Amino acid sequence: MYVLFIQELNFQLPNLIIQFNVMREDNQMLVLTHLSQLLDLVTGIGGFLVPLILWLTQKDKVAGMDHHGKMILYFQISMFIYSIIAVPLIFLLGLGLIALIVIAIIVLVLPIVNAIKVSKGEMPHYPFTIQILK
């Protein structure tokens, strides 16, 4: 009955269908994404791959995942770059060794602190992060 009425008004059904992209709030997924960075301590590269996979698969489904995922990946890439810079500095008065220790502490502590912030509904912050893309 409604289809006949719409057809009489010269409307086409495909033009009337509007798709809404509803994103769900999922703080547990965001916390898991932040904590997954700690896989670097076990696997070496899992702390980059797991957040990347979670971000790619969930960025359109979970509210805030796009921002959090980019922030995590920027942090991981930045810490990798700083580590590469620190290695040659080992030969320069041992400064690289101190830098590597500081980087290791930062990589261990910041994901935990930011996961706690996300679980409380606060916005996390990763200092020393290079913004690769805006």
Q: What is the pLDDT averaged over residues 82-108? A: 92
pLDDT, mean of residues 82-89: 94
> 55-85 pLDDT, tens per residue?
999 999 998 999 999 999 999 999 999 999 9
Q: Any idea where the domains of the chain sit in the sequence? A: 25-119
DSSP-assigned states of every residue in the chain: -HHHHHHHTT--HHHH-----PPBP-HHHHHHHHHGGGGHHHHSSHHHHHHHHHHHHHTTTBTTHHHHHHHHHHHHHHHHHHHHHHHHHTTTTTHHHHHHHHHHHHHHHHHHHHHHHHHTTPPP--TT------
- Category of 23 on φ-ψ map: left (φ > 0), alpha (ψ -120 to 50) or beta: beta
Q: What would the pLDDT profile of 25-64 be if each residue is shown by its tens digit?
A: 889 999 999 999 999 889 988 999 999 999 999 999 998 9
Q: What is the pTM of this model?
A: 0.79
